[in-house]
Amino acid sequence: MKILVTGGAGYIGSVLVPQLLDKGWQVTVVDNFMYGQGSLLDCCHRQELEIIRGDVRDKDLMRRLVAGHDAILPLACLVGAPLCALRPDEARAVNYDAVKTIVEAAGAQQAIIFPTTNSGYGVGQKGVFCTEQTPLNPVSLYGRLKVDIEKALLDRGNAITLRLATVFGISPRMRIDLLVNDFTYRAVHDGFVVLYQARFMRNYIHVRDVAAAFIHCLENFGRLPKEAYNVGLSDANLSKWQLCQEIKKQVPDFYFVEAEVGEDPDKRDYIVSNAKFEATGFLPGFGLRQGIAELIKGYRVIKRNQYANL
């Protein structure tokens, strides 16, 4: 199988691409390396890997590359509500327009597996799990763009979309600005965090389980309904306060408090059911506690500098 991965040197791609190569598949990565990351250097000896320094907004490049591959994984994205709010025009060009180019260029037999986000649920009903049938109500530009392009992909008829929970864990292209990664970093290096909307809930998933979810879809693409799937840890629908309590179990001196004034610009608040994807035979292999332990170990190696999108 020949697989095209856009943004393959990013946080998820840097974990996924080596696993795709280990499956014996040929992989083409397109990335503009906007963060100066060297996360795929360890794979450069693999003859099955081709790396192209390019921009997914280059329509001619993308049309040419799409034509030569069996499956396309469009990972290239400006990720997160803060970054998209800061650079809205670029966010639309990368997160929507560039993916639409792939949708239009791909033939009917070419598989597309796309990572969207369960942030599209926005603010859910208290105590009610969001399923794939729950109406989408994104509360940020990032969420709206993901929801809009997901519809275009699913209307195509030969695509699977993965509504990812908030991702955590160590990656060769590390991001410290993700919630679990950020709070664990603050616990280890600062010793405290001030929480806004501490009772707001969300779901979580390890980056290696995200990679495993893509491989699961590739290996079972023929039998899986071409639909949207929530991908997260079913035992990790937690509030920010509960997340901090989990971190404190491993960093006992960690102090956290809820702010009396101010607010978080990210207003997401929901719990998610992952039963549909689990029914296809996928089960995550990395729990939250294991991921926090991994992060604590990783933060003995790195400190905050280039390891974030903002």
In a domain, 25, yes or no: yes
User: Cβ contacts of residue 220 below 8 Å, gap of 6+?
Assistant: 280, 281
User: What pLDDT sits at residue 262?
Assistant: 81
CA distance 310 to 308: 6
Token pair, residue 25, equals 């598949």
User: What pLDDT sits at residue 139?
Assistant: 87
Going from the C-alpha of 183 to that of each of 4, 15, 81, the distances in angstroms are: 33, 22, 17
Residue 155 burial class via C-beta count within 10 angstroms: exposed 0-12, middle 13-18, buried 19 and up? exposed
User: What pLDDT sits at residue 239?
Assistant: 97
Report which of residues 52 and 35 the model is more confident about: 52
Confidence of residue 310 (pLDDT cuts 50, 70, 90): low
In a domain, 18, yes or no: yes
Task: Give pLDDT tens digits for 114-161.
Answer: 999 998 999 888 999 999 999 999 989 999 999 999 999 999 999 999
Question: Comparing 9-18, 49-58, 116-125, which segment has the lowest mean pLDDT?
Answer: 116-125
User: What pLDDT sits at residue 206?
Assistant: 98
Going from the C-alpha of 101 to that of each of 5, 144, 280, the distances in angstroms are: 14, 18, 30
Share of the chain above pLDDT 90, in %: 89
Owning domain of residue 106: 2-168+204-232+274-285
User: Which DSSP symbol is given to 70?
Assistant: S
Stretch 212-222: mean pLDDT, rounded?
98
CA distance 187 to 200: 20
Number of domains in the chain: 1
In a domain, 228, yes or no: yes
Confidence of residue 309 (pLDDT cuts 50, 70, 90): low
Token pair, residue 271, equals 């719990």
In a domain, 88, yes or no: yes
* CATH code: domain of residue 155: 3.40.50.720
In a domain, 223, yes or no: yes
CA distance 214 to 26: 15
CB 141 within 8 A of CB 130: no
Backbone dihedral angles phi then psi of residue 300, each to the nearest 5 degrees: -80, -15
**Sign of CA pseudo-dihedral 116, 30, 215, 11:** negative
Other beta carbons less than 10 A from residue 24's beta carbon: 8
**Sign of CA pseudo-dihedral 305, 204, 161, 279:** positive
Confidence of residue 266 (pLDDT cuts 50, 70, 90): confident
Strand order in the sheet with 228-231: 49-53, 26-31, 2-6, 71-74, 111-117, 159-164, 228-231
Confidence of residue 273 (pLDDT cuts 50, 70, 90): very high
Task: Give pLDDT tens digits for 185-197.
Answer: 999 999 999 999 9
In a domain, 189, yes or no: no
**Sign of CA pseudo-dihedral 51, 151, 229, 272:** positive
User: What pLDDT sits at residue 155?
Assistant: 95
In a domain, 253, yes or no: no
CB 234 within 8 A of CB 273: yes
In a domain, 238, yes or no: no
Report which of residues 81 and 273 the model is more confident about: 273
User: Which DSSP symbol is given to 41?
Assistant: G
